[in-house]
Structure formats: C-alpha cells, structure tokens
Amino acid sequence: MADIAVQHGVDAYEPSLFGTYSKKIGMWLFLLSDSLTFGALLFAYSYGRISNPQWPTPFHKESILNATVMTGCLLSSSLTMVLGVLAARRGDRSWTRNWILLTMLFGTGFVVLHAMEWTKLIAEGMTPFKNPWAASVPQFGGTFFTLTGMHMLHVTIGIIYLGVVALRKKWLPILLVLWLAGWLLTPADNVFHTGIHVLLLGTVVAAMILFLKPKDYDAHDVEIAGLYWHFVDLVWMFIFPLVYLMSTRVTG
C-alpha cells in the first residue's frame, strides 16, 4: 500500500490527502481540469446558440432517437462499470473482467452510433466551416465537431484504458485487429478512415505502459478507471440536451 501514505524518515507517516489513496486524488484532479476543458467548449457552443437566432436545427426524429439510444448506451455502461468495481472489491476477478468488457461493449456501441451520425451529417454537406441549413451560421459545424469529437476521443481513450485494466497484454493484439478492421472496412473518403488511427496510437501508448510498468491491476485501479468512465458519461449528459435536444426539428 505504498500509495496510501508518503513515508518521511523511518516511521513517520503523513496521512494522505482527504484520507484516500493518492491515485484517486490524482484522477479527481485530472477530471476537474478536464471538466473545465469541456465546460469551455460547451459554453462556447451555447454562446453561439444563444446569440444566433438563425442557428440551424438539423436533428430530425431519427437523429434524436439515435442520440437517445447513445445516451442509454453510456448510462448502461456506467451501471456495468460500478458493478465491475463492486466485483473488484469482492476480489472476484472473472466478474470484474466481464463487467468491464460489457462496459467497453456499450462504449463501442456509443462510438459506432456516433460515427454513423457524423457520417450522415457530413454526407448532407456539413463541414467545420459551413453547413447546408444556415449559411449565416458557419460556426455550427466547427463547434459541433469540436465538442462531439472531443467527447468521442474521450470515450475511445476510455475504452482503451478499460481494456488495459481488464485484459492487460492480451488487449494489445485485439486492439491491433480492431484498428486494422476499422481501417479496412471504412470507405477511403470517410473521416473515420483516418480517425481510426487513434486506435493505433492508443495501442502504442498502451504497449509502452504494459511493457515498461507491468503490474496486476487491483480494485483501486478498477475504481479509478471507473471514475474516468463515469466522467465521460457525465459530460454527455450536458452535450446531449445542449447540442441535440436544443436543435430538434419537429416539422419538416
């Protein structure tokens, strides 16, 4: 339990901050800073939304339905994650792994649905610099893609992170296969044909972590990975109403 207390001298211990282990404090501090990053992006989006009466409302019934299913995926993944943390506390290794794998599956479902949504919007003519619905509001594409893209990147990093905790080195070949399959199966003109290389980068980083500091991830590590995952879910709880529900097109 080297991370519970910092040793000074022979047997003088300084109690840890807030009476908990330092890895958790580290993750909380990271999440606080990350929430300000997302906060800035959300405020920028909302500023544009409020100050432009011509703000486009491109989200039809199927887009809202899609985004609602995505929200359900993320909420359910949070549930499976806490069940994984509970299993880790009990010392039940196989259920910890199973719950985390289910969490990753829900997360992957979210990213795939979101990628399909992006592809549809791009096919309709939306780019970061223009959109087909409101020529006077070119910033709609830029703010939308930055905000949701940043969130999608966080979900992808979360899936890679959970895979490292759940499967350790066995995760690396799976990740490479996922990267290769995603790269070969997406059309060459699709934005995700390039974007999938995030998985390759993630594999390299995960390999560096797994080979340079091999360890058996314990219940604390599972809990910290869970904190990150719930944060990603938390951010989506603001993106979903601000971006999708506030731009619903009921008629037409």
Partner 1 sequence: MHTVDAHHDESKAQYFWVWGVLLLLTAVEVVLAYRQVFQPVQMLQALMVLSIIKSALIIGYFMHLKYEARSMKWVMMTAVVACLCFMCVFFADAFRILQLGVR
Interface residues with partner 1 (CB under 8 A)? Answer: 18-20, 28, 32, 35-36, 39-40, 43, 46-47, 50-51, 53, 61, 64, 68, 71-72, 75-76, 78-79, 81-83, 86, 88-91, 93, 96, 216-220, 223, 226-227, 230-231, 233-234, 237-238, 240-242, 244-246, 248, 250
Structure tokens at 165: 């905790």
- SS3 (DSSP) at 130: coil
In the complex, least distance from residue 108 CB atom to partner 1, rounded to whole angstroms: 19
Going by C-alpha positions, the residue among 23, 34, 31 that lies closest to residue 1 is 23
In the complex, least distance from residue 6 CB atom to partner 1, rounded to whole angstroms: 17
Radius of gyration of the chain measured on its C-alpha atoms: 20
Q: Are 151 and 239 in contact (CB under 8 A)?
A: yes
Nearer to partner 1, 63 or 190 (CB): 63
Nearer to partner 1, 143 or 203 (CB): 143
Nearer to partner 1, 117 or 233 (CB): 233
Nearer to partner 1, 89 or 169 (CB): 89
Nearer to partner 1, 102 or 200 (CB): 102
In the complex, least distance from residue 17 CB atom to partner 1, rounded to whole angstroms: 8
Angle made by CA atoms 139, 140, 144, in degrees to the nearest 5: 115
| C-alpha torsion angle, residues 19, 21, 22, 24 (rounded to 10) | -110
In the complex, least distance from residue 82 CB atom to partner 1, rounded to whole angstroms: 5
Q: Mutual orientation of helices 197-212 and 171-185 as an angle, nearest 10°?
A: 170
- SS3 (DSSP) at 134: coil
In the complex, least distance from residue 75 CB atom to partner 1, rounded to whole angstroms: 5
